[in-house]
Structure 1
Amino acid sequence: MALPRPRLLAVSEELDGAELAALKFLSLQHIPMRKLEKIQRAQDFFEALQEKGLIEAGDLSYLKELLYRISRIDLLEAQLGSSREEMERELRVPGRAKVSAYRYLLFQLSENITEDELNSFKFLLGKELPKCRLNPKAAMLDVFIEMEKKGILGEENLSNLKTLCANINVSLLKRIEEYELKFGDEEMIITEEQRGSTGGPEAHARWPVTSVAPDAPGSWNESSQLEVYKMTSRPRGVCLILNNHSFAKAREAVPELRHMKDRNGTDVDAAALRRVFSKLHFTIAEYKDLTAAEIRETVNIYKCEDHKDKDCFVCCILSHGKKGIIYGVDGQEVPIQELTTSFTGRNCRSLAGKPKVFFVQACQGDACQKGVTIETDSGEQDSCVETDARFQLDCIPTEADFLLGMATLQDYVSYRSTRQGTWYIQALCQHLEYSCPRGEDILTILTAVNREVSRKTCMPNAEKQMPQPSFTLRKKLIFPVN
């Protein structure tokens, strides 16, 4: 039986360059890279599939799967006589899928990465990959391929990619972790079955196994159970609030900071944090208007405190700042990384293995402010919405069990109302208050905070803000209210 070339030609003519690149990427396990790199037309790609026996007369199952993977259901139906429902049934059959779960994971990640996030990947990989391979035209799939060539990404080596995703977009990291939980467990079960062993009562109970085919779209195992940090002590731990409002000393002592205004509205944030973390059974320790030296002294007190009977430590920092630092009220700088690393297992042994949570809201000062006018719920005008901090992504220790919630993405401003507090802290407190009683974990809550803050707009300039968490948590972090 001859190949249906008219149908293949019709399919090829409908595929654009990005879709062809996706099909080539998904086929890398079957066709060598050196051959795929030379292919510039869909017709040539189909010829390569035929040479490998992946397209044969009477068997277009692999091409159907590829079109399904890239969501070209129209071509699947019109040219190949299949449908979404048929492919979903087919891919539930064990061993039927020819595209690996790993490669499909990377493709799905690439589909969910924004242009700004792609640029962040390129920037963070600047020392690992040749600059010529990170040109402005390089797509995310191109970046993945270069990472594979360099040996820093592979089916058994996702650690580098996870670190990047933790710094750029937590939802991407969660998807990788779901993949690892799902397929790591399936491999363990298959190994036990091949040995002819039941593996004992715990062998198959570690993670629930779904009946959906491993490679099928939408098959992420939502029921997988992550271990949860212990959170039963009373109190849970200390919630340290460093609240800097008055910067008169900075204006007097540092000429270049003479335009730095007081942080009006910060007390609204501090009150919200006190209210919420008190409900979550934390001991509140608030310090106001500290110099840089006093910030260090205060942090050192809690670093040296015995936390052995506590389950967690929280630190909320409200101050002026700039990239990677916060200001004391005297205008002197304190690196955020200096504060977070004070609580690593080496520096604070009684918190080893326990979650250390930092929320940072810091404004840039008057010289870089961009005042805007917004309407409050009462209809009054608030002309004192000010820009807040820009941060680098290296403020979080590489050690496990840390969470750093930043008000904004690297190199972007965030906003503080002199009457209502900051967008970020207010959204954070509202979502903690709403979601903790429902048993939601902190990363789910912070995703909701991201959504809410990203929807806000400062008029008339349509300014936006996007918070960003970074973390090295190993378990789910849930704050029970009981």
Structure 2
Amino acid sequence: MEFPRQRLLVVSEELDKAELAALKFLSLEHVPLRKLEAIQKAQDFFEALQEKGMIEGGDLSFLKELLYRISRIDLLEAQLGSSREQMERDLQIPGRARVSAYRYLLFQLSEDIAEDEMKSFKFLLGKELPKCRLNPKTTMLDVFIEMEKKGILGEDNLSMLKSLCAEINISLLKRIEEYELNLFGEEEMVITGEQRGSTGGHEAHARWLVSSVAPDSPGRWNESSRLEAYKMTSRPRGVCLILNNHNFAKAREAVPEPKNMKDRNGTDVDAAALRRVFSKLHFTIAEYRDLTAEEIRKIVNIYRCQDHKDKDCFVCCILSHGKKGIIYGVDGQEVPIQELTTSFTGQNCHSLAGKPKVFFVQACQGDACQKGVTIETDSGEQDYSIETDARFQLDCIPSEADFLLGMATLQDYVSYRSPREGTWYIQALCQHLECSCPRGEDILTILTAVNQEVSRKSCKPNAEKQMPQPSFTLRKKLIFPVN
């Protein structure tokens, strides 16, 4: 088979500096460090692989694995004639994976370490590594390489890295423990590094790589927990659709006038918070303001019909008035929440099948008040307005898998909005996403913290309270990586 130089040229032109650095790092067991450090162009990297016999004739299996590991599925499919599914099958064949389990672990950690966490690593390593190697341009992969050079990091020497992760981010430590558990087993984890090198060997190596085929999967942390995570590596992750209804003048002009159709002052504060947070989480933001019921349907249908094949998730945030199981357009007309969520089932939106579909709804859903937290009315003189945001009815979320529906409060009850500060629910949600996603916490853990925060809020004088409640058919952990 003729050597596909033209395709390699196209691939080389598509790779950016960070991706080339990742490919070089993952190849360190096959190409000497000194040679890799001198390489600045992807074409030179491919030449080095060819010299080492890693690209021979038409055999591009190693390059395919590298592109798969860094999640350049577009190049894998378009230029090398493979696919994510094919690579997942191939890498489960014993001996097929050529990126070492240890090297891949370090790469995964580098992808999960946030910017502020990387600064902490550099600070704590200040006495171990030369300061000139810890400048602002030094990446986490560079830090790992310097640690290896100093002999404080290696396949059988993870103790210092584990200590650092324990100080900085416990979820990173759990990733290392997962690697050790899968690679060596519970009993072998107590063996010394020298003894460990002679046990398990290639079989253990293959076992861990098979368990970590999905680049972002946290896998299992112990023998009894095997819950994997949804893939969340695409850039962008997907669309965050924000439907933000503020001005209900059209509804107030209707005859008869719908009940409680005041303008939703403060909703723009919520929308701004959602834009900020989901942009940081690498979503494409699509915001629409003051939509009638028919316009809501049309916008939702546009995104239902979009091709989400290269995206990992879909998020929809709805900010409006409503009643039980219903949201209102600014014209006072009703749109069932179930109609919106069902639009994105696998049958109605094929490219989102098997991927998480997340809905957050801040909308009037009822009139009852929960005792325990005081409230103020929605007048121009007071801080908080009553929004009757109740929990979904049972049929609001599709029975199909991979959905999450977060509602601001329990069924039949009100929720609260400050004209200056936004709603309790959306503000708490955004704050906890911003704080907890960099630590690797999953969405259900985050929503539990949101429940706790909102339930503790109060305002005078009537001792009313609010309790959000999510509903979900998720099959895996849903984690939004910041990197």
TM-score by length of 1: 0.52
Q: Give the corresponding residue for 1:261.
A: 262
C-alpha contact (below 8 Å) 2:365/2:413 kept by paired residues: no
Q: Give the corresponding residue for 2:229.
A: 228
Residue correspondence of structure 1 range 74-113 to structure 2 within 5 A: none
Return closer, same or farther for 1:209/1:227 CA change in 2, 3 Å cut-off. closer
C-alpha contact (below 8 Å) 1:382/1:419 kept by paired residues: no
Q: Give the corresponding residue for 2:243.
A: 242
Q: How much has 1:409 moved relative to structure 2?
A: 1.1
Matched position secondary structure for 1:408: coil
Looking at structure 2, the residues matched to 472 and 452 of structure 1 have their Cα atoms a distance apart, in angstroms, of 24
C-alpha contact (below 8 Å) 2:368/2:414 kept by paired residues: no
Q: Give the corresponding residue for 2:353.
A: 352
Q: Give the corresponding residue for 2:331.
A: 330
Which amino acid counterpart does residue 342 of structure 1 have in structure 2?
S
Q: Give the corresponding residue for 2:400.
A: 399
Looking at structure 1, the residues matched to 368 and 331 of structure 2 have their Cα atoms a distance apart, in angstroms, of 18
C-alpha contact (below 8 Å) 2:369/2:464 kept by paired residues: no
Q: Give the corresponding residue for 2:34.
A: none
Return closer, same or farther for 1:327/1:230 CA change in 2, 3 Å cut-off. same
Q: Give the corresponding residue for 2:282.
A: 281
Aligned-CA RMSD value:
2.8
C-alpha contact (below 8 Å) 2:383/2:420 kept by paired residues: no
List structure 1 segments (4+ residues) > 6 angstroms apart after TM superposition.
200-203, 367-371
Q: Give the corresponding residue for 2:389.
A: 389
Which amino acid counterpart does residue 284 of structure 2 have in structure 1?
T
Return closer, same or farther for 1:355/1:208 CA change in 2, 3 Å cut-off. closer
Q: Give the % identical residues.
A: 81
Q: How much has 1:259 moved relative to structure 2?
A: 4.4
Q: How much has 1:368 moved relative to structure 2?
A: 8.1
Structure 2 unaligned regions, length at least 5:
1-202, 212-218
TM-score by length of 2: 0.52
Return closer, same or farther for 1:399/1:381 CA change in 2, 3 Å cut-off. same
1:317 aligns with 2:318: yes
1:373 aligns with 2:376: yes
Looking at structure 2, the residues matched to 368 and 465 of structure 1 have their Cα atoms a distance apart, in angstroms, of 11
Return closer, same or farther for 1:381/1:261 CA change in 2, 3 Å cut-off. closer
Q: How much has 1:209 moved relative to structure 2?
A: 5.8
Q: Give the corresponding residue for 2:33.
A: none
Q: Give the corresponding residue for 2:85.
A: none
Which amino acid counterpart does residue 247 of structure 1 have in structure 2?
F
Q: Give the corresponding residue for 2:47.
A: none
Which amino acid counterpart does residue 301 of structure 1 have in structure 2?
I
Q: Give the corresponding residue for 2:416.
A: 415
Q: How much has 1:384 moved relative to structure 2?
A: 3.8
Return closer, same or farther for 1:317/1:326 CA change in 2, 3 Å cut-off. same
Structure 1 unaligned regions, length at least 5:
1-199, 211-220, 375-379
Residue correspondence of structure 1 range 129-168 to structure 2 within 5 A: none
Q: How much has 1:256 moved relative to structure 2?
A: 3.7
C-alpha contact (below 8 Å) 1:368/1:387 kept by paired residues: no
Q: How much has 1:413 moved relative to structure 2?
A: 1.3
Looking at structure 2, the residues matched to 386 and 253 of structure 1 have their Cα atoms a distance apart, in angstroms, of 22
Which amino acid counterpart does residue 305 of structure 2 have in structure 1?
C
C-alpha contact (below 8 Å) 1:324/1:335 kept by paired residues: yes
Matched position secondary structure for 1:360: strand
Looking at structure 1, the residues matched to 480 and 440 of structure 2 have their Cα atoms a distance apart, in angstroms, of 7
Q: How much has 1:383 moved relative to structure 2?
A: 3.8
Which amino acid counterpart does residue 481 of structure 2 have in structure 1?
P
1:470 aligns with 2:456: no
Return closer, same or farther for 1:384/1:255 CA change in 2, 3 Å cut-off. farther
Looking at structure 2, the residues matched to 329 and 299 of structure 1 have their Cα atoms a distance apart, in angstroms, of 16
Give CA deviations for 1:98-156 in whole Å, capped at 9, x if unaligned. xxxxxxxxxxxxxxxxxxxxxxxxxxxxxxxxxxxxxxxxxxxxxxxxxxxxxxxxxxx
Return closer, same or farther for 1:437/1:332 CA change in 2, 3 Å cut-off. same
C-alpha contact (below 8 Å) 2:376/2:386 kept by paired residues: no
